[in-house]
Structures are given as structure tokens and as C-alpha cells.
Amino acid sequence: MTTAAIIVAAGRGLRAGGGIPKQWRPLAGLRVADWTIDRFRGQVDYIVLVLSADDGPAWAEFENTDLILASGGNNRAGSVRNGLAALAELAVDHVLIHDVARPCVGLPTIQRVLAALNAHPAAAPGLAVTDALWTGDGAIVTGTQDRSGLFAAQTPQGFHYDAIVAAHAAHPGGAADDVEVARAAGLDVAIVPGDADNIKITRPEDFARAERILGTDMDVRLGNGYDVHRFGDGDHVILCGVKVPHGRGLQGHSDADVGMHAVTDAIYGALAQGDIGQHFPPSDPQWKGAASEIFLRHAVDLAGKMGYVISNVDCTLVCEYPKIGPHAPAMRDEMARIMGLRADQVSVKATTSERLGFTGRSEGIASLATACLVKS
């Protein structure tokens, strides 16, 4: 499935102040457009940036990058059509259309829209309206409006590529957004949960709010873990929660799962909460032979209590034998299950030490791990 994102950045956006289009104004150390573009890198196969003919410096800056550039139209719909045309030769299946002025869009929102396109021809994030709604005349309230069934629309709005191209070609113009264009063509549009932080920068004060979302709320932590267990008697080893047949076993106070221990210590390290030995002392007999899943779950739960979510973990097993490759997918799935993550958030791989050192002499197995945690 080939995916693309069109970032519409041809507007002038001068209501936000600053004397230049809002997409080129600084925000939390970057420009608004830089934040927005980076949100889609790694999530789609192609990114189209639609620029105004008046943005000469931007054309020069992005010309030889990973972006596809397209010229803006006379209005937003024209810009979107030009962005779609820039993808015509690339066999794109699904396309996301996003306002450059929404730099705070989160990865979960992007993923929800993409996932919904597997079952629907169109999908878009929306927030159910919860505030009371008034009608007014100037500064005077003239009535109330029923909010039942009302949603505040957000982007990215996603579509099957061929369907939205045809919808735009048939539309007479004047639509508020691409969802309106799609519905006019008879496409059903699925609503996925939006995000209150996915604000659209429109007024000068919106910059301060966006900066708080992007800056002060961002807390990313990395932790490293390392563990070693020697071989002893046995007919199998437990590695990353999977029983692997082997002529020898690993020795340890618990089940000696060297991979899971390294990942657990990486999480504790990211939290600045010590290591397994501090939380589960080997001198305590209750942990003798314990399943390492207990330790890993404790680390994951502790991260949650401290307000962090695990973004991803990467575990490397160092040994000559047993061969890890045939068992790596099962290890990855088991670790993901224990931590409550998707399989694509967990990496389990192996290497040898070229027969050097204690691992090269098959005296034991070592493991290194890295965990990335993000403040939720």
C-alpha cells in the first residue's frame, strides 16, 4: 500500500501577524512548516509540499530534498488539485491532505486516519463539540444552537487517491475542506478521534499555545540496559520470553532471560530509577527462579505511573549459539505483548562477537538494549 501526504502551504496567512506568511514564522526553534513536514516523515512514502509562486526562497530550499514540490492554485482547492497531480505517476493508493498551519498534529492521529482508509474511502479526525453554542449579533447573544452530532473538523483528511482526484475534478468549487468535496461525490467519510492539541494557527495568540504544546510538554528520555548470564546445565534457554532449545541453560537467580533483563534495565534507566537489582534484590529468595516477565511488567507499569509511554525498544543479543534468527519474530511478539506495544515498536536482533571474548567462547550470552520513553 503506497501512501502520500499533501501539505498545503501556499496560503498567505497574514492574519496571524508577523508580517510574513505564518508557515514561515519561527516556532519553538523551527518554522511552522518545518514542524508540520517532520510530522509526516516516516509515516508515508511521499510528501508533497504545495508552495506559492511568491515563496522563492522556499522553492530553492526544498528543491533537492525528499519532498515533491507543487505550485499553489488560485484557492485552496486549486492547491490541493495541483498536489494530487504531482502524485499522478507514482501509483499512490491513499493520500492525506493536511494544513501546514497544524504543526502540532500527533502521530496517533495520522495513524488513525491511515488505518481507517483500509475500511473506508475517506476518513478525517474530528472533535465532538462539547461547549454550548450560541448565535449572536455583534456582542449580543441571539439564541442557542443544538450541538448534538456536531464535530470540529481537523486535518489530515485521508482519501483513496483515485476517489479524491475524481471528486475534485467534478466539484464546482467553494468547498470548506476536502471532506466536503468527497461527500459531494458520494464518498462516505469515517470520523476518527481528533486531538485537542492539533490546533490550527490562525491568530497571533495561537503561536504561544503551539509553542507550549511543542516545547514545554516535550519530554523524551533514552535508557540503556546491559546484562550477561553464563551457561550452565540445561536443555534450553529463555530469551525475550521465548523458550529456545539448546544444549546448555543460562544461570541466574531468576530465569536468566538476558534479553528481557537488558530491556527492563533500559526502561529503569530512562526513568532514572536504578536497575533490576534495586527493585528485585537477588538476595531475596522470593525472586529465585522468577519469570523475568514480572520484572519487565513492573518497569512498564512504573513508566506509566510516572507519566511516560514507551515509544520503542531495541534489544540486541550477543552469542554464537543458539541461533536467534528463527526465533526473533516470536521474541518480538512476546515482548510487545508484555509491554502492551505494537510489534513494530519492538526490535529483537542478534550478532556474534566473531568468536572473541566470553561470548565468542560460548561461555554465556550478553544483551544490550535501548528504550525510548515519551511524556504522555
Instruction: Write the single-letter amino acid at 134.
Output: W
H/E stretch holding 169: helix 161-170
Residue-wise pLDDT for 112-170, tens only, equals: 999 999 999 999 999 999 999 999 999 999 999 999 999 999 999 999 999 999 999 99
For 11, the 3-state DSSP assignment is coil
Residue owning grid cell 449572536: 136
Instruction: State the cell numbers at 233.
Output: 546445565
For 243, 334, 343, 364, the CA distances from 246, given in Å and listed in that order, are: 9, 19, 26, 12
- At residue 304, does pLDDT exceed 60? yes
Task: Name the pairing type of β-strands 94-99 and 157-160.
Answer: antiparallel
pLDDT on residue 212: 87
Tally of CB atoms within 10 A around 334: 20
Could you give the percent of the chain with pLDDT greater than 90? 84
Q: What is the CATH number of domain 3-131+143-216?
A: 3.90.550.10
Between the CA of residue 240 and those of 263, 309, 315, what are the distances in Å? 9, 20, 9
Residue 212: count of CB within 10 angstroms of its CB:
13
252-269 core/surface letters (b: 16 or more CB in 10 A; e: else): bbbbbbbbbbbbbbbbbb
Give the residue extent of every domain in the chain.
3-131+143-216, 220-375
- What mean pLDDT value characterizes the chain? 93
Q: Distance (Å, rounded) from C-alpha 77 to C-alpha 182?
A: 12
At 371 the pLDDT is: 97
pLDDT category, 183, cuts 50, 70, 90?
A: very high
User: Taking the CB of residue 137, how many other CB atoms lie within 10 A of it?
Assistant: 8
pLDDT bracket for residue 96 (50, 70, 90): very high
Beta bridge partner(s), residue 123: 158, 190
Over pLDDT 70: what percentage of the chain? 97
Phi and psi dihedrals of 342, rounded to 5? Answer: -75, 155
What CA–CA distance (Å, rounded) separates 48 from 262? 41
Select from 276, 266, 246, 292 the least CA-distant residue to 346.
266
> Is 313 in contact with 335 (CB distance < 8 Å)?
yes
pLDDT at 307: 82
State the Cα–Cα distance between residues 125 and 108, nearest whole angstrom: 11
**What pLDDT shows up at residue 374?**
86
- Inform me whether the pLDDT recorded for 242 exceeds 90: yes
For residue 15, name the pLDDT band (cuts at 50, 70, 90): low
**pTM (two decimals):** 0.61
Query: Which helix (H) or strand (E) segment is 243 a member of?
Result: strand 242-245
Section 82-90 average pLDDT:
97
**DSSP code of residue 182:** H
At 283, is the pLDDT very low, low, confident or very high (cuts 50, 70, 90)?
confident
Confidence check: pLDDT of 12 > 90: no
Kindly report, residue by residue over 200-223, the tens digit of the pLDDT.
Answer: 999 999 999 998 888 755 678 999
Q: Which pLDDT score is estimated for 130?
A: 94
What is the β-pairing status of strands 189-193 and 157-160? unpaired
**Sorting pLDDT into bands at 50, 70 and 90, what band is 364?**
very high
pLDDT of 16: 58
Listed range (2-16, 178-192, 266-280) with the worst mean pLDDT: 2-16
- Any idea what DSSP says for residue 200? P
Dihedral of CA 16/19/23/28: which sign? Answer: negative
pLDDT at 116: 97
Mean pLDDT of 303-332: 94
Question: pLDDT (tens digit, 9 = 90+) per residue, 29-44?
Answer: 889 999 999 999 989 9
Please check whether the domain covering 220-375 is classified as CATH 3.30.1330.50. yes
